[in-house]
Amino acid sequence: MQNPENNDGVKTKASTKHRRLASAEPGPPSPALRRPREQRFLNRELSRIDFNDRILALAEDRSLPVLERAKFLAIVSQNVDELFQVRVAALYEQLAVDATTTSPDGLSPQAQLSEIRKRVEALVDRRSRIFKDTLVPDLDAAGIRYSQWKELDDDDRAHLDQVFERRIFPVLTPLAVDPAHPFPYISNLSLNLAVVVRQGPHIPPLMARVKVPPLLDRFIVLPDGERFVPVEQVIAAHLGSLFPGMQVQAQYSFRVTRQTDFDTDDGASDLLVAVESVIRMRKRSPMVVRLEIEKGMSAWVRELLVRELELDDSQVYPIKGPLDLQGLWALYALDRPALKEEPYSGVTPPRLAPSAPGHGVDIFSVLRQGDVLVHHPYESFAASVEAFVDQAADDPTVLAIKQTLYRTSTTESPIVKALIRAAEGGKQVVALVELKARFDEEANIAWARALEEAGVHVVYGVVGLKTHAKTSLVVRQEAVGIRLYGHIGTGNYNPDTARIYEDVGLLTANTNLGSDLTELFNYLTGYSQRRDYRKLLVAPVTLRPRLLELIAGQAHEGGRITIKVNNLADPQIIDALYDASLAGCQMDLIVRSVCCLRPGVPGLSERIRVRSIVGRYLEHSRINRFGTPGVDAVYYIGSADLMVRNLDERVEALVPVAEPSLTARLDEILSVNLADDVLAWELQPDGSWTKVPTRVGVNTHKRLQELAVARARGHEVEPVELVG
């Protein structure tokens, strides 16, 4: 195991992660604390695996278009890879430093790893069965045929011979493994062939490694455009070309997963250099946490790989079927619209729509008349948030633009281009670029440099914290003086994810919110120590205590709490919710992914219900409602999930929504989610998830899409019956 620190201002998770987990202990004593931890909390990592089980249910739903199901298999494969690279790696690092920390539910690192192993084995077996038993036959029926080398005729093989000779052979590098050739470095998530060769019948076998370069397509498409063959099978059929004069006895696919998550030392002299060092470490990470092998691999080859990679058998995962089903993204990219969901483009929010074709809309004038709530992807990100920043960039009366950027597009970012244009036009432009956004560091570094070259003031955030807040501020000179306009949202300023992530945001000219955003940006870019805000709730300053106050305020008979988040894992918040339930509060929690709260437990959480919506769009918005709608309800939307990292280790911002027409929209979103009986799952007291039986046929994504289109067309929209 490498030293926890290196000379580039980078720390491994072993030096910090177990201390962060320790900080997740519950806060002040409460009635819920009478229960042992294991009765109050579900395990975060196992809950994450359960979420992927719910995605697999979509992959095996044969009522869905077949390429959508292929996409869901690819998503699960991607999610499991990240689980091992980040979360499992952190647990192995805790073992390496003999950390005594247990998870909030009372499990040691070793116990968590053991349970993760069982759950992942079952998940991967299910994924393989879905691929073989339903996806492949249904693709075949649709004219997209998964073919194996042994099934091909002479003409097909002749074509692939040419493909191999021209495109594949030149980029392959066989590496011998023997006393003269040390075991090669196996790069993270690379697909490889372990090839067993002999020089003669009486000479011991040797092993060589052939890496499948990532620049090659995962599947090779045959000339008819309908059949596809795994690239490793094409390589395997031509191994004689790589080892002339040798007897190729066998070949087996394998793949390794390495630790990729490293802490950046915020005290480093140059944060940009430190983050670039993280990227380099990720590419040459020393710790392997998982070895996936083709089922049927010989014991000799398996033992050699385990020994050389310094693993034990608990880290080896035999896979039946092709490895790395992330390659199914290539199939999803095929131009076969009939095999996908019908395309949908978000509509323009009615108040931001031009009065006539060809006419523009003055967004600033609209906002002076009242706030605008936007809901993506049902309402267009381009016609709302992008248009807001775009107009600010070109408006001669705009003096300054300030913007946070957490995850940006890798190829095209209209908002970044607008900021560059504004700076080149002489405006004061500040961009807070979060370099430490995991797996987006390289894209963010590239955009940060482009912004700096254009004259934008680029800052990288607050020492010791990630900046996760989604905020934008425009300073405009008007006849009445300086006026401030802003946007506070739940999603990233990313045009790609805005089409598939469900998010909400508030566009506003509210004076108090503008002042709060000004103070927040001063905190992000300077040395402001402001600890109170007029309207915003800001982590790690005011957010946690205010949320606890709001929860406690509903801890009585007749109290109501409805919360929609991605993840609910903070022990102190969970215990506060238990206490509110014990006091008589009725509670509905809509949690997309990780949920560590146990609902429906007698004497603890009988009044708490938890559901998850999993479907076409990724549920990403965070909406918090405390109280009874139409009576005393208080609403907040924003960037923060209910996790330790969001409340204590990041800069987050939640904004209140008070205007009745806008709170009615939030009520509508929550009610549709709670009425759903097509995409919804419910969490049981024992931690299992059950599918909600379909009786009425409410599909959240279709219903909200219908409502958005009806509004855009000027149709009267009947109020959705309040649920929860």
CA atoms 581, 585, 586, 590: torsion sign: negative
DSSP state for residue 5 in the 8-state scheme: B
What CA–CA distance (Å, rounded) separates 325 from 256? Answer: 14
How many Cβ atoms sit within 10 Å of the Cβ of residue 723? Answer: 15
DSSP 253-268: EEEEEE---EEE-TTS
358: region left, alpha or beta (phi > 0 left; psi from -120 to 50 alpha): left
HSE (side-chain half, CA atoms, 13 Å) at 101: 23
Contacts of 300 (CB under 8 A, 6+ apart): 196, 205
The burial class, CB within 10 Å (0-12 / 13-18 / 19+), for 515 is middle
How many Cβ atoms sit within 10 Å of the Cβ of residue 246? Answer: 16
Contacts of 59 (CB under 8 A, 6+ apart): 69, 70, 72, 73, 76, 127, 130, 135
What CA–CA distance (Å, rounded) separates 582 from 440? Answer: 42
Q: Measured between alpha carbons, how far is residue 382 from residues 252, 496, 503 in Å?
A: 48, 11, 14
**Known catalytic membership, residue 457:** no
CA 704 to chain centre: 22
Catalytic residue among 375, 376, 468, 487: 468
How many Cβ atoms sit within 10 Å of the Cβ of residue 15? Answer: 16
Q: b/e for 648-660, b at 16 or more Cβ within 10 A?
A: bbbbbbbbbbebe
- Which residue's structure tokens are 């030392």? 265
Please say whether the beta carbons of 120 and 54 come within 8 A.
no
Peptide bond into 540 cis (omega under 30): yes
Q: Coil, strand, or helix at residue 121?
A: helix
What CA–CA distance (Å, rounded) separates 467 from 432? Answer: 8
Q: Give, for 248, the enclosing helix (H) or strand (E).
A: strand 247-258
Q: Coil, strand, or helix at residue 251?
A: strand
How many Cβ atoms sit within 10 Å of the Cβ of residue 448? Answer: 23
621: region left, alpha or beta (phi > 0 left; psi from -120 to 50 alpha): beta
Instruction: Enter the tokens of residue 134.
Output: 């339903």
The burial class, CB within 10 Å (0-12 / 13-18 / 19+), for 688 is exposed
CA atoms 591, 592, 594, 600: torsion sign: positive
- Which residue's structure tokens are 């918040």? 573
Please say whether the beta carbons of 559 and 568 come within 8 A.
no
Contacts of 24 (CB under 8 A, 6+ apart): 104, 569, 570, 571, 644
Q: Measured between alpha carbons, how far is residue 405 from residues 181, 440, 521 in Å?
A: 46, 11, 12
Residue 507 backbone dihedrals phi, psi, to 5 degrees:
-100, 130
Query: Using DSSP, how many helices (H) and how many strands (E) does the chain show?
Result: 23, 29
CA 410 to chain centre: 15
Where in the sequence numbering do the catalytic residues fall?
468
